[in-house]
Amino acid sequence: MDEQERAERVSRGRRQAEWLASRDVAAVAVTFVDTSGITRVKGVPVSVFDRVAGWGVGATPVFDAFLLDDSIASTPVANPSGDLRLMPDLHRVVPLAAQPGWAWAPADRWTQDGEPHPGCARLLAARMVERLAEAGLAAKAAYEVEWVLFRDSGDGPQPATVAPAYGMGRIIEVSDYAVELLRTLAAQGVAVQQFHPEYAPGQLELSVAPESPVAAADTAVLVRSTIRAVAARHRLAVSFSPSVQAGGVGNGGHLHLSLHRGGRSLFAGGDRRYGLTTEAEAFMAGVVERLPALLAVGAPSVASYLRLLPSHWAGAFACWGLENREAAVRLVTGSVGEQARAANFEVKCVDQSANPYLLIAAVLATGLAGLQGNATLPEPVDGDPAALSAAERAERGVARLPEKLGDAVDAFAADKVLTDAFGPELTETLLAVRRAEIDRFADATPEEVAAVTRWRH
């Protein structure tokens, strides 16, 4: 960052500070997401936001090695010496409607020498977007957010709704909370497209409009913090955990993504199956091919594998299908007449213990590898892969995805596409954090894993 750019950031930060102060905002929460998927924060008073805009706010590199329970993995890349600077994105500063007096800004992480921090997930996602642009392509993405809402019954937290899955009764039971949440998100500029009850007791889901990939990850962070903030105002608690109760249906964090060239969707109007273009198929094929390694990024906790079960709509098999909710990758075409706007693919085998920036980056990297290799998709799967015999699955090349985190980590470590994209420092840190969590829960029961993870993400 040169002197002129820094001066421009200071000037812009000063104008934003004045605007925030006029809206009675006292402080800005500057956030980043660590390797274990936890959103970490440094709060700064509005009165110093101009300096923070230009010079950032300090944060130790050790955060890269934090586990979900705040213990720290052993890795030389993340150590207590040195400092990083959290540089807020000045285009994404948002006053928080459910936290009066606060605003929020996602941050990139830079070294004190003014260089990009090699462990910054948000900068990695931006680099993958740039690689896509070099190929003349753009992507739009959105995360679905699922959560379980709890209220204190006097005997501890219990699901806040008892009405049937997907039932109107649930909306009635939490109507005031739901209305405030939707109004709050709208006030913060979040374009909600759907809000509905889900399967598990107390479970809800929210979908937002697609955006550029980094913005989609930002929005996922903002939406989840808003869900939690509005719940706190209603004396409710929220779990985004992939396993809220061992043996139950957990929370996914599905990623939707579409590819575009010159403003035209490549997922509609093509001459491949279901209207795919050759480029869209190759991109999807790259993702499907590397699903086991992708799980180390997208299903990165021990608890993830309590959720990733066959016949649970979790996408437990490495396959794809048209509108197939049991496939790990689901092609969504949209209705006749809206395909050019609506067509996309959904990665279903991932959850919200993932760092959304790392997951976006990993999916873009694997998709780009598919493009470069002119990859083609295998035959789609219709229905539940678990209903096929083992022989049928073997014949069709439909493999079970890793059933434990260690297998996904080994697949990631052996995958040159992903390790090259992430770089040596981030790869080493990711592997250290994942292996430390495996050790942390080595002797834990599923119930103990769920209990420790329930309130962390």
- DSSP lists the bridge partners of residue 139 as 259
Task: Indicate the domain borders of the chain.
Answer: 3-117, 129-453
- DSSP lists the bridge partners of residue 311 as none
Q: Is the pLDDT of residue 1 over 80?
A: no
User: Which two three-digit tokens encode residue 234?
Assistant: 């209603």
Read off the pLDDT of residues 177-229 as tens digits, 9 standing for 90 and up. Answer: 999 999 999 999 999 999 999 999 999 999 999 999 999 999 999 999 999 99
Read off the pLDDT of residues 118-131 as tens digits, 9 standing for 90 and up. Answer: 999 999 999 999 99
* Class of the CATH domain delimited by 3-117: alpha beta
Read off the pLDDT of residues 268-289 as tens digits, 9 standing for 90 and up. Answer: 999 999 999 999 999 999 999 9
3-state SS of 295-336 is HHHHCCCCCHHHHCCCCCCCCCEEEEEECCCCEEEEEECCCC
Q: Look up the pTM and report it.
A: 0.97
What's the confidence (pLDDT) of residue 333?
A: 95
Q: Report DSSP state, residue 211.
A: B
What's the confidence (pLDDT) of residue 156?
A: 82
What's the confidence (pLDDT) of residue 199?
A: 93
DSSP letter string over 52-68? Answer: HHHH-EEE-GGGGGB-T
Q: Residue 85: left if φ>0, alpha if ψ -120 to 50, beta else—which one?
A: beta
What's the confidence (pLDDT) of residue 188?
A: 98
Read off the pLDDT of residues 141-185 as tens digits, 9 standing for 90 and up. Answer: 999 999 999 998 778 899 999 899 999 999 999 999 999 999 999
What's the confidence (pLDDT) of residue 375?
A: 98
Does the domain made of 129-453 have the CATH classification 3.40.630.30? no
- What is each CA distance from 104 to 171, 188, 271, in whole angstroms? 29, 10, 44
What's the confidence (pLDDT) of residue 40?
A: 98
Is 178 strand, coil or helix? helix
3-state percent breakdown (helix, strand, coil) of the chain, nearest 5? 40, 20, 35
pLDDT band at 453 (very low <50, low <70, confident <90, very high): very high
Read off the pLDDT of residues 41-81 as tens digits, 9 standing for 90 and up. Answer: 999 999 999 999 999 999 999 999 999 999 999 888 777 78
Read off the pLDDT of residues 84-120 as tens digits, 9 standing for 90 and up. Answer: 999 999 999 999 999 999 999 999 999 999 899 999 9
What does the radius of gyration of the chain's CA atoms come to, in whole angstroms?
21
| Distance from C-alpha of 58 to C-alpha of 167, rounded to nearest angstrom | 47
Read off the pLDDT of residues 365-417 as tens digits, 9 standing for 90 and up. Answer: 999 999 999 999 999 999 999 999 999 999 999 999 999 999 999 999 999 99
